[in-house]
Amino acid sequence: MYKRQVYGATGSTNLAIIAERISELGLAGTPMLLVGVALLVVGFGFKLAAAPFHMWAPDVYEGAPTPITGFMAAGVKAATFAAFLRVFLEAFPGVYTEWHRAIWWLAAITMIVGNFIALQQKRLKRMLAYSSIGHTGFVLVALASGTQQAATAFLFYLLAYTLATMGAFAVVIALGRAGEERDAVEDYHGLWYTNPVIAMSMMVFMLALLGFPIFGGVGFFAKWYVLQAALQAPAPQTRLAIILALTTAVSAGYYLYVVMVMFMKQRPIGAPILSPMPGLTRAVIAVSVSLILLFGVYPEPLIRLAKASNSLGIPTVAPTVAPTVAPQVAPRTALAAPGH
């Protein structure tokens, strides 16, 4: 449906041609085009589990086999984000003012909903599902900034998030047994005393998702670059940056809780002994930990990769001058960005 609306307004499905015709023919205010853009936001929002389109994600993450859940949370979400970035920054820079408002609110609501609900979860897969929703909001902050710097930060964040998420779900797989998954937080009590390697690996993944320096350095740099992109955009997204910082502090409540129970709780009497890990699971954990620690200390290769991957020729679509006071009633082209 959204493809038909955009095609009906511009006469093309080529991203570059869509951008050209919006600019040359003055289609920015065309109702058919705006409906198509709105439907694209809804479609991508549902695919990414952004609030308020997130209700399916926790149940699917918890009910699916853990390897499938890990692939959905990392690979599928990263690919969808890349498509979202390319479509909106390459095809619709001419209607930035219109879709920016929707992305702004989508990012803010998603960060708040994902992180606050994650605090209440007692099962790790469900907690990681809401954590993933919160990270969706973090990445949408970069998209809302609408600059080349934001696109690079966007890709850097996706790479860091993918490593930490794949590793965390690999640990959940390692703790499971044939025909049974152990993802309750209680199953991680005292893990340090029975399997210190797995406990240390899970600590690295939790701190990376939190964005903690040192062990989670790659996650720290990822959030830092997104904050920089938001604050240094031509129209600074100050309020979104504040929400990102506050919700990151909230996320410490559930990430550090997992670390605490592994290292500070006693292993329950009669707790089952871990089965030997499959070779592939062991490899995923080892590679993820190694890359997170490497890029946390030396992030330059990852930054260069993100810049090289951002080869779309994306223009700066954010307005170069931000009005100091948003007018109460104004034409669509003069609307102020909500980030002021």
pLDDT for the residue numbered 174: 84
Contact 158, 81 (CB under 8 A): yes
pLDDT for the residue numbered 337: 44
Displacement of CA 138 from its chain's centroid (Å): 6
CA distance 137 to 179: 34
Number of neighbouring beta carbons within 10 Å of residue 13: 12
CA distance 150 to 38: 22
Q: What is the pTM of this model?
A: 0.82
pLDDT for the residue numbered 327: 37
- Length of the chain as a residue count: 340
Mean pLDDT per block of 10 residues along the chain (340 residues) reads: 68 86 83 88 90 88 84 85 85 86 92 93 90 91 82 84 90 72 80 88 92 77 87 86 93 93 80 70 91 85 72 50 37 41
Residue 154: which residues within 8 A CB-CB, separation 6 or more? 81, 85, 139, 142, 143, 226, 229
pLDDT for the residue numbered 310: 58
pLDDT for the residue numbered 206: 93
pLDDT for the residue numbered 329: 37
pLDDT for the residue numbered 318: 56
CA distance 300 to 294: 10
CA distance 208 to 204: 6
pLDDT for the residue numbered 180: 56
pLDDT for the residue numbered 148: 78
Residue 26: which residues within 8 A CB-CB, separation 6 or more? none
